[in-house]
Structure 1
Amino acid sequence: MHKPLFLATLLFAPPAVAVVPQLQAPAEVREVLGSYLEIGDVADVPAQEVFERRMQREVASLLATEGYFSPRVVLRPHDDKLLLVVDPGPRSLIGSVHIEIVGDLDPEWQRSLLRTWKLPTGRPFRQTDWDEAKQALLAELLAVDYAAARLLDSRAEVDPEARRVELTVVAASGPRYRFGELQISGLKRYSEELVGRFNSSVKPGEPYREDRLLALQAALQSTPYFSSVSVTLEREGNASAPSGDAWVSAPVHVRLRERAPYQLSLGAGYSTNTGARVEAAYRSSDLFGRAWELHTGVRIEQLRQTAYTDVFLPPDEEQRRDGVGTAVEHSDIENLGIRRFAVGATRLQRYGSVEQRLGINWQEELQSPQGAPSTTARALTAQLGWSWRHARDPLDPAEGISLQFQLGGGSKSLLSDRDFVRTYLRYSQGIPLGASAALLFRGELGVTFASSVQGIPQDFLFRAGGSNSVRGYAYQSLGVKQGEAIVGGRYLATISGEYTHWINPTWGAAVFVDAGNAVDNRQAIDLAVGYGVGGRWRSPAGPLGIDLAYGQREGKLRLDFSLAIPF
């Protein structure tokens, strides 16, 4: 007889309200718990009990990776909230470390491996640190001689009451390896001799070094001939070879996939230096079936138009690379019209981190400054240049240093209109200031030794101004006045300082000061100063920027940026 009343109670009783428990934990574990715990919401008492048991299991599993093996987890009501209270308990420390390396290792090197073990006694236990320490030990063995080294056993024995973790690692070095013959697969168009020209690191009979395999792989990958490269030492079947003084000679497998030998690319873009542009380029990596590289193309900009053809030969036995080329150019920048034709040859060679470039070039140039007579300059020049770069990431200028030095000149006795010698030095350095800020310094010095600028092509003189020079001034607008035009001078000096703060990993803001000028009389040099602010974007191709700069000499604001869109 009470069923209607009972049903009415069910129908009109307020539904349970779902509540999301709030995590309450010490700062040292809050981040890991907040990142990996899926808390969700709970609606009633039975659900709270299920939730609390689940949290006890998951919190214990998570905190064990951080060295907390006796946590307490309680779901506690507080006002109209639920608190998930976590007490991680004491953290366990590394009590002892036992490392055994089975194999014939030099005793001093073995002692060095033990000294550099990355998780010593007294350090808090973390699963990530434990994994990294084991892999670092193995990587040290794999890097030199012992290509088949492996971990035989690893244990982390926990004593929660004593708050100690006992570590045991047993590794086997295996036999020592020498490089055997290269076994090359995947070639259809190119010859094995071409692969050998890029190999300066892996020589049969020499002791195995992992970095040499990686160097050969990187050298082949950087060529235009291959789309994928894998270089490995054959380890299978050799791990149980005799140790002692015996060495195992194992073949080196070079697996290649050839790139299509022809490529046509089109592009468009805009630069505050030379305006809007369109361009077309064609590349062949197998000209005449001889693995010669052909680069030819046309670039049409508002202020400059260029057509070029270059041919590069594969490197020789001493890693020297030769090339020949020709270019035709027309430009009209700062009222200076130039028509230029040039042919030349270059030789490129690397000495470690230093790149050396030798060249010989002949060019004829018609110079037409507005408001002044046109002249022709001819020069046969010999050129020598060195570039040195040291950077962790070549696309990130925040940390690294580069130096460039160029020396060149011509003589009236050898098809040049004037005797001259040109020298040029460029320096840039990035200095990180923590994880989110950096300083960038840049400077240039240039001197052309000659009795006069007459008869010298503009490439061997100097102008300044623009996005990569002195911001706040138009591209190549700092130089020597001739009629209504700005032409090159014999002396150049620029300096720049920039501070960048990264708001997040992608976007940053910068402030900068630039100063510089190009003149024909070093006694009258007067640096033009520009300063301003800018935005930075870490694009896949490297940092791109837009700068609003004030040119103090002209009293004007100028926007400087460059942007290209390939299609």
Structure 2
Amino acid sequence: MTELRLWPVSRCSTIRPALRLLLVLLVLPMAQEIQALKLEVRVEGLTGEYEKYEKNVLALLGIYQERKDKDLSVPRLEALHRRAPGQIRKALAPFGFYRVQVEDTLTRPTVEDGAWVADYQVVPGEPVRVGQAQESVDYRITGPGAEDPIFPKAFPIQPGNVLLHSEYDKATDNIRSLAARNGYLDYELTFNRALIDLDNYQAIIQFHLHTGPRYYLGDVSFTQDLLDDRYLARFVGFKPKDRYDPEALLTLQGNLLGTEYYERVEIVPHKAAAGEKRTVPIEVIATPNKANKYRFGFGYATDVGPRVTLEWRRRYLTRWGHTLKLETNISQPLQRMKGDYRIPIGNPLRDYVTIRPDLRSYDIAGRKGDIQTLQVAHSVVTPGGWRRTAGIDYRREQFEITADDAELVNELVPNITWSKTVTDDPVYTTNGYRIKFALLGTTQGLISPASYLSGSARFKWIKSFLDHYRLIARSDLGASWANSVFDLPASRRYFAGGDNSIRGWALDVLGPDDPSTKEAVGGRYLAVGSLELERRIKGNWSGTVFTDFGNAFDPDFTRQVEVGTGLGIRWRSPIGQIRMDVAFALTKDSSPARLHIVIGPDL
């Protein structure tokens, strides 16, 4: 018979503290175990010529990647340590090291709350080389294209060279690309491998490519109903029976998408229809884009203050690719509405005839007026990369500079410009330049009340150096040949001052002064320069020091060279730099600081 005994209440109260103590003793080691471990990982031996491989080793070393993991436990740590030597050897293999020695130790903490130390002493050894015998590189091009000179006569990696996996992959990819780009669509790799003989510690390369027959590009057809096929044919940069080149097809696709006529463009080669002559017909399937594009913008510049921009673009108007753009810019001192009706000619990607109406109204320090212009111009890109635009303007300008210098002028002005921009980044340029030359003039009696000839050159250059520095140089030069500055309408005279001229002065307040009013009337000559040194401070922020100098001049008036200098800060935004400058007019009698703010790309 089992005896059931009941503890008295006083006895139970004695046991409960003991149970609590036992529970604490059981849980405490578990709590210590789940605390985040401190771990230090050391990889030594990759110094000097081997230092460049350390980054790849650490990237593949699991114990290094998980060293700060809050959930890292002792069992996990020990497992990672066991795998580490193999991971180090694997990380060094692509660089030709196959006899890597790794001495590893894992040291427990010697003090409470101390760190574990995982130490790996690495001896990379000598890299493996391709065998010295000629048969160590078995390179063969066979098939109908075996004698085609596009293929290298010898494999880029030769006997005795160190076997770098990246170089091997680059060499094989290049040969395969040559085959594909030259019409060998059915090429086949019968061998493509690099073998490592660890006993003799040498590499053997086997690369065999069978070219198959060569294919050619055929006629191009267009599946779309937006534009005339004869116009679209001008975008095709190859001729039927040219060797088949996938890059030519990608270029055609990119050119059509770049026009914004189409939302999607698919290039379909019909290889199955190539026939005995292996001429592949090409089908272009294009989906039209939306006809209208709208843009709203807001900007700010000290010269004009807040500015609102409205733009409407008609992506296509006729079956021959004509386009239309209307743009309105509104600010306190300047209002402008301009249009651009563009007719593609010649190379439709870059050559066109343009008709540009332009309406402007301005009221700035020193003058005010209204200008209505209609320009017809022919614009092409020359073989040297210059944009050449030649045209003729009809201009009606009513202006007032002083009470005695106000007039209504009608002109018919032939003009020509050459411009070129070279930049590594159109938004934030680290190295590049922009240059523009212009020549225009008119003859008295050809609607115009006076004769003159005017030429100008504008240049901006940006050069980066020492990682964090940019040097920015700018120059504006101009000259007009006329009997008097008063024979020129206000928009044809030269003025200086402002955000993009000589900082420290307001927009266009510099130039020859009227002796009686002391207000600038403009000049027949312009010479303005600027030097700026910019240094990146942190992230997208940089600082700059600058000096601007020059003026507008005229032989009939006396005018000195003006100089401004100052400091600025820059912030690199997605739409270009936001430039904030504090400028001082050094040659002005009283020269309070003037703030200049400009937003936009560098060039």
TM-score by length of 1: 0.84
Q: 1:89, CA displacement in angstroms?
A: 2.1
Q: 1:449, CA displacement in angstroms?
A: 1.5
Distance in 1 between the 2:214 and 2:242 partners? Answer: 11
1:15 lines up with 2:52 in the alignment: no
1:508 lines up with 2:537 in the alignment: no
> How do 1:34-73 and structure 2 match up within 5 A?
34-37=58-61, 38-40=65-67, 41=69, 46-69=75-98, 70-72=100-102
The verdict on how the C-alpha distance between 1:228 and 1:552 changes in structure 2, with shifts beyond 3 A counting, is farther
The verdict on how the C-alpha distance between 1:177 and 1:190 changes in structure 2, with shifts beyond 3 A counting, is same
The verdict on how the C-alpha distance between 1:329 and 1:502 changes in structure 2, with shifts beyond 3 A counting, is same
Distance in 1 between the 2:556 and 2:405 partners? Answer: 25
Corresponding residue to 2:309 among 266, 279, 290: 279
Contact 2:217/2:240 (8 A) holds in 1 = yes
The verdict on how the C-alpha distance between 1:194 and 1:91 changes in structure 2, with shifts beyond 3 A counting, is farther
Corresponding residue to 1:194 among 231, 240, 256: 231
> How do 1:349-388 and structure 2 match up within 5 A?
349-352=380-383, 353-370=385-402, 372-388=404-420
Distance in 1 between the 2:499 and 2:184 partners? Answer: 51
> What secondary structure is seen at the aligned counterpart in 2 of 1:413?
coil
Question: Larger Rg: 1 or 2?
Answer: 2
Distance in 1 between the 2:173 and 2:547 partners? Answer: 46
The verdict on how the C-alpha distance between 1:485 and 1:280 changes in structure 2, with shifts beyond 3 A counting, is farther
**Residue 155 of structure 1 aligns with which residue?**
193
1:458 lines up with 2:490 in the alignment: yes
Q: 1:159, CA displacement in angstroms?
A: 4.3
Q: 1:192, CA displacement in angstroms?
A: 1.9
The letter for the 2-side match of 1:557 is A
The letter for the 1-side match of 2:280 is A
> How do 1:156-555 and structure 2 match up within 5 A?
156-159=194-197, 164-185=202-223, 187-199=224-236, 201-208=237-244, 212-231=248-267, 248-287=278-317, 291-316=321-346, 320-352=351-383, 353-370=385-402, 372-433=404-465, 435-482=467-514, 483=517, 485-503=519-537, 506-521=540-555, 526-554=560-588, 555=591
> What secondary structure is seen at the aligned counterpart in 1 of 2:497?
coil
Q: 1:381, CA displacement in angstroms?
A: 0.6
Q: 1:141, CA displacement in angstroms?
A: 4.4
1:30 lines up with 2:54 in the alignment: yes
Contact 2:424/2:430 (8 A) holds in 1 = no
Contact 1:477/1:486 (8 A) holds in 2 = yes
Distance in 2 between the 1:214 and 1:110 partners? Answer: 23
1:100-136 CA-partner distances (Å, limit 9, x unpaired): 333425565434x758x4x666665554444334333
Q: 1:304, CA displacement in angstroms?
A: 0.2
Contact 2:97/2:128 (8 A) holds in 1 = no
Distance in 2 between the 1:217 and 1:167 partners? Answer: 38
Q: 1:270, CA displacement in angstroms?
A: 1.2
Distance in 2 between the 1:286 and 1:44 partners? Answer: 66
> What secondary structure is seen at the aligned counterpart in 2 of 1:311?
strand
1:90 lines up with 2:91 in the alignment: no
The letter for the 1-side match of 2:505 is Y
TM-score by length of 2: 0.80
Q: 1:410, CA displacement in angstroms?
A: 0.8
Structure 2 gap ranges (5+): 1-17, 132-136
More off after superposition, 93-102 vs 358-367: 93-102
Structure 1 gap ranges (5+): none
Q: 1:360, CA displacement in angstroms?
A: 0.8
Q: 1:364, CA displacement in angstroms?
A: 1.2
More off after superposition, 207-216 vs 189-198: 207-216
Higher RCO (CA < 8 A, seq sep 6+): 1
Aligned pair count reads 552
The verdict on how the C-alpha distance between 1:163 and 1:440 changes in structure 2, with shifts beyond 3 A counting, is farther
The letter for the 2-side match of 1:497 is L
Contact 2:39/2:118 (8 A) holds in 1 = no
Contact 1:197/1:315 (8 A) holds in 2 = no
Provide the aligned C-alpha RMSD in A. 3.6
> What secondary structure is seen at the aligned counterpart in 2 of 1:224?
coil
The letter for the 1-side match of 2:595 is L
Distance in 2 between the 1:272 and 1:429 partners? Answer: 23
The verdict on how the C-alpha distance between 1:288 and 1:370 changes in structure 2, with shifts beyond 3 A counting, is same
> What secondary structure is seen at the aligned counterpart in 2 of 1:21?
strand
> What secondary structure is seen at the aligned counterpart in 1 of 2:435?
strand
Q: 1:285, CA displacement in angstroms?
A: 2.4
**Residue 5 of structure 2 aligns with which residue?**
none
1:503-542 CA-partner distances (Å, limit 9, x unpaired): 5664433333332322223996643333333334443344
Distance in 1 between the 2:272 and 2:126 partners? Answer: 43
Q: Percent identity?
A: 23
